[in-house]
A and B are shown apart, each in its own frame.
Chain A
Amino acid sequence: MYRNDMTRKEIERAFAERSPDDERLIRSLENCDRRHFLSVSMKFFGMAAAASIVPAHAFTLVNVANAAEGGAPPFRFAYVSDTHLYAKGMDHRFAKAAIKAVEDVNALDPQPDFVLFGGDLAQLGKPDELALGQQILKGLKAPVRMMVGEHDWYLDLGEKWKSMFGDDHYSFDHKGVHFVVLNSVVEKDFWTAKGYSNEERMAIVSGLDDSRQSPFEVGEPQRDWLAKDLAKVDKNTPLIVFSHSPLYKLYRGWNFWTDDAEQVQAILKPFKTVSVIHGHTHQLLTNRIGNIHFHGMLSTAWPWPYAPKGLPEYTVQMYRPDPFNQLDGCGNGTVDVIAGGRVNKNYSLWSRNPRIVTAKELEGKSLPGGGYKGPSY
């Protein structure tokens, strides 16, 4: 409930300075109706002002208020993504980062309803890498939903991954929201004609800027499956789609791209409320196309630079990370599903203040302070 656009420092300070009365107030929020909410939010406003926290609207607890007004109940899930593990033991820098993410998520109180793993568990799709990832993710207290990334897939075209984690695309329902998990990193066969070995194919796909590979796509079989899956779902049911690549066309050169994005978006378009949560881009990345909100996830391993072109107006870039700090620009995060099924996306950056992109912010033409101002690198 402290997670609006407060900085971490502000949150810590607010907690440190709360009185027994404040404590009772905070606890009373757990079962708060609209009228009660208004009264306590006014008290919070006073608390915030007394603690010299500016802006005081950080305390307005919009999510709780909206939830009390009906629609889907609010809930939270967490995400860990793009761990890119090598089978080099638990002391390897990427393994340590993945473990940190697990510890972060386990420290959330209350625990998230589930944890989405956003793909690219392994670096080169090797069984040992996937096994290390599985072992690390087993440390999560909350249930885990797995998604595949290209680094998991192109050594054996998903054989090992599927044997460990199940289908690469599936759907489920949770608290009134229909969730869909896609494998959006399908590539047309570029290897057979060239005679590439499995290892070469994996190495090529693992190179973000390797132009020998094909663009990512969801592909016709999965699009057909998606259309059928969604045919059963009421158009007013909030939809949250997980994909590894962004389900739009940002920058082809780095496969920040899904080649059949328009066709997939067309399938999602009839739904009133759609959010896409994707991995692969390792950065703060926000977009909106019509009724579809798009949010990128952070990587635990390293941050990518922003693409030289194509960045959406909705994205507020993070300043380039400090190379001397392994954790900077990396992290994990949470997604708050608010009333009506929209999401507030929280980037828990390990070395910076958290950044929350709210559904409300995405209602405008661009994010405040957003807009692409040219290459960031």
Chain B
Amino acid sequence: MRHVAARILGGSAALTATAALALALGVDSGNAVADDVLTRTVWACDHRKQVVVEGVAPDAKLDPARAQLVADILSDLMRYCEEEITAEVGLDQRITIRANGKVYERWTPGAPIPTLRVSFGEPTDREKAIWQAELDKLVKEGDRLFHSDEVGKNGVACAMCHPNASNTHPETYPKFQTQLKKVVQLRDMVNWCIQNPLEGTPLAADDAKMQALESYILAQRKGVALEIGKH
């Protein structure tokens, strides 16, 4: 399951949203704004996002600090293009956010920054397309590096021995690599190849190039059963 997280920053009271995997918090039904409280509603240009400011008459002008807060909130909420989101700025300065009619978080200035669930249930096609595009970007970069002479120093590229990443069998790692006399991960063999046939410098495990190479290699074996330790 995938969630869109909204983070509310304490100091500036600005609300920033990031697309990320997040811990799900409980969802409650929430309390709607009381009938007797005056509210001023500001809509975003897409007519899907609105900020409801409590304690301000519907036609009253917002003071500059509140106007800035509303603008910050709306610009953050605009990242959720397809969602209908309401942010309520309460009399007590707490901000309540509702998506598609459901409350999903409240935040009080000074409290820990919450991680919020936005997409209830199944991810949307659009979300899936975005995640796939992000993954494809990494795999594509790995594909480029795998076929490039820039990983090593002698002109040799990974794909020269491993077209379509064949004969890399990433699904068999970790395994006891007999030639190295120890259990290794795929990245250890990638580094071995970089240092030997490619006569290059090994990459750190968290090096963006290593991450891309591993992603490309694994992507070529999608659907293949894990057979850790297989020789």
| A-B interaction | yes
Q: Which residue of B lies closest to A209 (CB)?
A: B163
Tally A-B pairs: CB < 8 A. Answer: 56
In the complex, A322→B159 CA distance in Å?
A: 16
A175 at the interface (CB under 8 A from B): no
Q: How far is the CB of A308 from chain B (nearest CB, A)?
A: 7
B18 at the interface (CB under 8 A from A): no
B166 at the interface (CB under 8 A from A): yes
In the complex, A254→B161 CA distance in Å?
A: 12
A377 at the interface (CB under 8 A from B): yes
User: Given known contacts A253-B164, A308-B166, A326-B197, is B159 in contact with A93 (CB within 8 Å)?
Assistant: no
> Contact: B163 with A254, CB < 8 Å?
yes
In the complex, A322→B167 CA distance in Å?
A: 11
User: Given known contacts A93-B154, A324-B179, is B147 in contact with A305 (CB within 8 Å)?
Assistant: no
Inside 8 A of A92's CB, which chain B residues have their CB? 154-155
> Contact: B197 with A207, CB < 8 Å?
no
> Contact: B163 with A208, CB < 8 Å?
yes
Q: Which residue of B lies closest to A301 (CB)?
A: B160
In the complex, A322→B160 CA distance in Å?
A: 15
Inside 8 A of A365's CB, which chain B residues have their CB? none
> Contact: B159 with A377, CB < 8 Å?
no
Interface SS of chain B = loop
In the complex, A210→B161 CA distance in Å?
A: 14
B92-125 to A contact mask, C-beta < 8 Å, 1/0: 0000000000000000000000000000000000
User: Given known contacts A324-B179, A326-B197, is B160 in contact with A302 (CB within 8 Å)?
Assistant: yes
B162 at the interface (CB under 8 A from A): yes
Inside 8 A of B192's CB, which chain A residues have their CB? 323-324
User: Given known contacts A88-B154, A92-B154, A93-B154, is B161 in contact with A377 (CB within 8 Å)?
Assistant: no
User: Given known contacts A86-B155, A302-B161, is B166 in contact with A207 (CB within 8 Å)?
Assistant: no
A303 at the interface (CB under 8 A from B): yes
A43 at the interface (CB under 8 A from B): no
B191-202 to A contact mask, C-beta < 8 Å, 1/0: 011001101000
Inside 8 A of A303's CB, which chain B residues have their CB? 161
B169 at the interface (CB under 8 A from A): yes
Inside 8 A of B159's CB, which chain A residues have their CB? 207-209
Candidate in B162, B163, B169 with the most chain A CB atoms within 10 angstroms: B163
Chain B 117-172 interface residues, beta-carbon cutoff 8 Å to A: 147, 154-156, 159-164, 166-169
Chain A 297-348 interface residues, beta-carbon cutoff 8 Å to B: 302-305, 308, 320, 322-324, 326
A4 at the interface (CB under 8 A from B): no
In the complex, A323→B167 CA distance in Å?
A: 10
User: Given known contacts A88-B155, A92-B154, A208-B159, is B179 in contact with A305 (CB within 8 Å)?
Assistant: no
A123 at the interface (CB under 8 A from B): yes
User: Given known contacts A308-B166, A323-B161, is B155 in contact with A123 (CB within 8 Å)?
Assistant: yes
> Contact: B197 with A323, CB < 8 Å?
yes
Inside 8 A of B199's CB, which chain A residues have their CB? 93
> Contact: A323 with B155, CB < 8 Å?
no
In the complex, A157→B57 CA distance in Å?
A: 78
Inside 8 A of B179's CB, which chain A residues have their CB? 322-324
B residues bordering A, Cβ < 8 Å? Answer: 147, 154-156, 159-164, 166-169, 179, 189, 192-193, 196-197, 199
A–B complex contacts, Cβ < 8 Å, 30 sampled: A86-B154, A88-B155, A92-B154, A92-B155, A93-B154, A93-B156, A207-B159, A208-B159, A208-B160, A209-B147, A209-B163, A210-B147, A253-B163, A254-B164, A302-B160, A303-B161, A304-B161, A305-B161, A305-B163, A305-B166, A305-B167, A320-B167, A323-B179, A323-B189, A323-B197, A324-B196, A326-B197, A377-B167, A377-B168, A377-B169
